[in-house]
Structure 1
Amino acid sequence: MPTSEDEIIRLFRIRKTVMQMLKDRNYLVVDSDIDMTKEEFVEKYGHSMKREDLTICKAKKNDSSDQICVFFAPSTEKVGIARLRTYMNQMKSENVLRAILVVQDQMTTVAKTSLSENATKFNMEIFQDAELLVNVTEHFLVPVHQVLTDEEKKSLLERYTLRESQLPRIQVTDPIARYYGLKRGQVVKIIRSSDTAGRYVTFRYVV
């Protein structure tokens, strides 16, 4: 059965946001993945495309062993323990420790518990479709965010004789933090436009 036009547009927009998100996280994503037109998207996946066919796997630019997979859960089911184990088994067989799961509906309570229990083995982030229909970083009110490396964070704290707890904070659940996959303890540099100084730089500590 052909996929409806509305669903095709929905999946096209979600995939584009995911590709840009992976690129912004420093994964190897070519421009053609981001600039793909809807017509090219349909040509690649067909008019009867299934969500699970959209799986994406990419490696970090500076470390090919650091890979991430993006799974699209079927729209016909609520993600349960069986589906979650399928993804975890695939990650294990391919030696992938990071994943993003895009869901249309909520996960079952049992699946959420299992995800929490396996957090030390598998780093899996959950995004709902609605969170990816629009790229939050492209809003005109959202400034540029740059995630500091451990070395850059150390240098910043030493330069200003600060403890990380003295920096302004950003919640790990903040939409921008989720977009960049930030973890507690990281520091992000925020660059805003300024009418007087040209640009205004601040830092946020992820909590």
Structure 2
Amino acid sequence: MDPERECSRLWRAWRTVHEMVKDRGYEISEEEVSITLDEFRRHYCDSEGRPQRKNMTFKANPSEKMLKQHAAPPGQPANVGTIWVEFSSEPNIAMKIVPTVLPAIIEVFEEADLLVNITKHELVPTHHLLSREEKRRLLERYRLKETQLPRIQSADPVARYMGLKRGMVVKIVRKSETSGRYASYRLCM
């Protein structure tokens, strides 16, 4: 691939990944999210303009808000931790890498899936992850069992973007011509 084109594609993926990590609730500075193509070139490309993926690795810690939202029941460890992001040049992630990071959760995204932040598209409604407490109050308010909620698959593009896991509930707010806005809730399966 042409180095200029590869740099541009990787910069777009870089921004989407940083936006995704920030949207999930990790601490990311605005400078990292809004890096320009020229700044990206200076920091992450060699003298010939080829991106150096090994230099693009970063980590982020969960924010206080995220820790509260994902709080585990008393006596259990927290459900979130530091996130580590790598931009692999390998077409397939080798299984030998997996045992070195266990018991971590590993998510793999294709570069092509990260060229555009899907949550910014006008047809994608706003999604909000509910905390355990908010989920409990929702089920109590409507006298529902968790299984009575409509479902969203964990493989759904927005669910993947948000990092939804089985049992999590997401509030989806859509625009409505008649009522202005309305909310629905989905259980991740």
Q: Choose 127-136 or 182-191, whichever is displaced more.
A: 127-136
Runs of 4+ in 1 over 4 A off after TM superposition: none
User: Which residue does 1:55 correspond to in 2?
Assistant: 57
| Unaligned residue ranges in structure 2 (runs of 5+) | 68-79
Give the % identical residues: 42
- Normalised TM-score (structure 2): 0.85
- Normalised TM-score (structure 1): 0.78
| Unaligned residue ranges in structure 1 (runs of 5+) | 92-117
Choose the corresponding residue for 1:71, options 86, 101, 106. 86
Whether the aligned pair in 2 keeps the contact of 1:52 and 1:72 (CA below 8 Å) is: yes
Aligned CA-pair RMSD: 1.8
Q: How many pairs does the alignment contain?
A: 172
Cα distance in 2, alignment partners of residues 135 and 170 from structure 1? 19
Cα distance in 1, alignment partners of residues 81 and 151 from structure 2? 28
User: Which residue does 1:31 correspond to in 2?
Assistant: 30
Cα distance in 1, alignment partners of residues 24 and 93 from structure 2? 26
- 1:149 is the counterpart of 2:131: yes
Task: Give the letter aligned to residue 151 of structure 2.
Answer: R
Q: Give per-residue Cα distances to partners, 1:35-79, cap 9 Å, x unaligned.
A: 11100111112334321221120001115x82101111124x643
Secondary structure of 1:158's partner? helix
Whether the aligned pair in 2 keeps the contact of 1:50 and 1:74 (CA below 8 Å) is: no
Q: Which has the higher contact order (CA 8 A, sep 6+)?
A: 2
Whether the aligned pair in 1 keeps the contact of 2:44 and 2:53 (CA below 8 Å) is: no
Whether the aligned pair in 2 keeps the contact of 1:9 and 1:38 (CA below 8 Å) is: yes
Cα distance in 1, alignment partners of residues 14 and 139 from structure 2? 37
Cα distance in 2, alignment partners of residues 26 and 80 from structure 1? 29
Whether the aligned pair in 1 keeps the contact of 2:3 and 2:51 (CA below 8 Å) is: no
- 1:171 is the counterpart of 2:153: yes
Alignment of 1:1-207 (within 5 A): 4-46=3-45, 47-62=49-64, 63=67, 66-75=81-90, 78-82=92-96, 84-85=97-98, 89=100, 91=101, 121-207=103-189
Task: Give the letter aligned to residue 93 of structure 2.
Answer: V
Cα distance in 2, alignment partners of residues 79 and 201 from structure 1? 38
Secondary structure of 2:86's partner? strand
Judging by fraction of residues, say which structure has more strand: 1
Cα distance in 2, alignment partners of residues 79 and 158 from structure 1? 43
Whether the aligned pair in 1 keeps the contact of 2:129 and 2:169 (CA below 8 Å) is: yes
